[in-house]
Structure 1
Amino acid sequence: MSSDQTIDKGVKLRARGARSNAAGRYERHRRMYDSDGWDDEMPEERMAATVVSEERPRRMITYNRSPDLPFDRSINPYRGCEHGCIYCFARPSHAWLGLSAGLDFETRLIARPDAPAILERELRKPGYRVAPIAIGTNTDPYQPIEQGHEIMRGCLQVLRAFRHPVAVVTKGTLIERDLDILSDMAVHGLVRVGISVTTLDAGVSRSMEPRAPAPRRRLETIRRVSAAGVPVRVMSSPVVPGLTDHEIEKILTAGREAGAQAASWIMLRLPLEVAPLFREWLQAHYPDRAARVMGLVRQMQGGRDYDPQWGRRMRGQGPYAQMIAHRFALAARRLGLDARQPALRCDLFDPPARPGDQLSLF
């Protein structure tokens, strides 16, 4: 165990993506595990448990000016994500909490129970200008702990009451619980959903996204969301070169058969702490492909594990990246998934009256 990792040998990592827990990049000190000789006596049932704490932020809406994102604002009901996807580009955000992008990111989660009330307060501000809000672009709003906390459902109830447009991205089947709200919003052109299907191989998915729903179950979610009248796209994201890239056409075909009306893709991104975590995972699960996968990654990223430049970070560059983009475009066109989805409506925004508000005479 290297000197900057805090997982001892008695903790089982079954159903976890990260294999280590290096201290956050802003921490001054590193911790190390030093065996006392009793490792073999530790009970096998010791697991890396999920711990949820609460946070009450002052604001919920986060704004961005990134030219390669199709939205300028988002909200996150949770910090960290129990799905444990090893490739998750949001992992480095846990460093701001003094926590690790490794195991901490998927076991030490932060819930924001006041999110719906804070969101409502922000939407009522006199200077607020409506535009679609994205949810799920950082951590998944339908990760397992949403079952008990229901923060995402509360946020959707606020957005529906205000007739505010929203775009949701998820791997979680729990979105089916909220189809009553989403289908109502869809009637008014206020919502669209993206379901991420990284691979159709259950074994690859199990190791790479250990607590996310199985691929076939996500396809069933696409089917149910679409049947409820909610516009849905299948997201082949991320494309992992040398591991899942051969599945692009199959993923789009399966998504189309399930009812998806559009498709999108993003190349694997390995910012900051994600790169060493991914390399460690790759060496443990696919040692025979590790060199090829990372070689293709660096080929697309200017010789590095990650190129953060706008316009390149989502797609990569060079012959291999161009080939992936061409294959996706051909498959999407053949399947009728290349049409641009209708813009979400912003003209219906109407903050509901509160008890005691003076009603308009007109």
Structure 2
Amino acid sequence: MDKRESMWDLYLKKGMSRRTFVKSCVALTSLMGLSTDQVSKVVEAAEQKPLPVVVWIHGHECTGCDESFIRSGAPLASDLVLSQIALEYDHLLSAASGAPFEAHLEETIEKYKGNYILCVEGAACTKDNGVYCMSGGHTFTHLLQHAAQNAKAVIAYGTCAVSGGIQAAKPNPTGSSGIGYFTGGTPVVNVPGCPPIPEVMTGVVMHIALFGTVPPLDGEGRPKQFYGNRIHDTCYRRPFFDAGMFAESFDDAGAKAGWCLYKLGCRGPETYNSCGNLRWFQGMSYPIQSGAPCIGCSNAHFWDDGAMTERLPKFGQPIGDVDQIGAVMAAATAVGVAGHAAASVVQKKKRIADEKKNEGAGEE
């Protein structure tokens, strides 16, 4: 790409109106979790800043994050790729292109050194010098280090890239891990999930594209606007938890009535994500709404944590039939809620301490 056009330049070239352009900027502002007083800044950036160059590489993974990405509704993935970023290289889209496209990757890295965004999907394979994941004659870890050290910022898309994902589950025969060890001093934005919500993926890359900086991050390097709340905090079934009304099986009366899924293994109380806010398929639904407990897919090592078989913390022995909960369940619930509240306070204090520690390290 010789001439780097702005988002507004492309809208003009396609004959799109100013009104459509501004509406797109308003939607982007909302998507990025910004207040309405930031719309003018988004419009200004979209008018003046050239489209950000993006390099997208893939390690050990299933391309599920790409499958999620192409289902983004605001903005549409097609609009993002064709009008809002300059996607110069993508492993998945370019798998059959061969040596010429690998040469183009090197040209892109050299030409836009320090100015491109590196999107990474998939885990880094470390065992036996990384030979179990190779592309273009090089190991993925070699490519990752090379591309990351010359990037403006790195976005780790998906739990595989953030912490290893299913490849890193025991016994982890390929030595897979998150990409953090290989990114050097380049800023990294962690976007965990298996896969992440599509609008979260587009929102993060557009924040960096328009403002030239990574969004505010929490203690684990995740964007606060998307990972600032637990699933539990935004769950529409939360009142049933507080009332001690739990489904005991997937087909009992409680499950059919929409009661809390905590006793069926829901990891919502420990999982930070936007599922309850943004939901999936343009706000249509999410696992809990469809009757499935949260498995904590944005948590590190969730494959090894019994997310699909165990609840946490354990309540102990089952307490009767859902129609006979009565006073016994109320008493048990009081204990459970108190323990849950205490755990929430400890977890919040830990997050605040981690964030202060990271901010202190950044100032140094």
Is the TM value for this pair above 0.5?
A: no
| TM-score (ref. length: structure 2) | 0.32
- Rg comparison, structure with higher value: 2
Greater helix share, structure number: 2
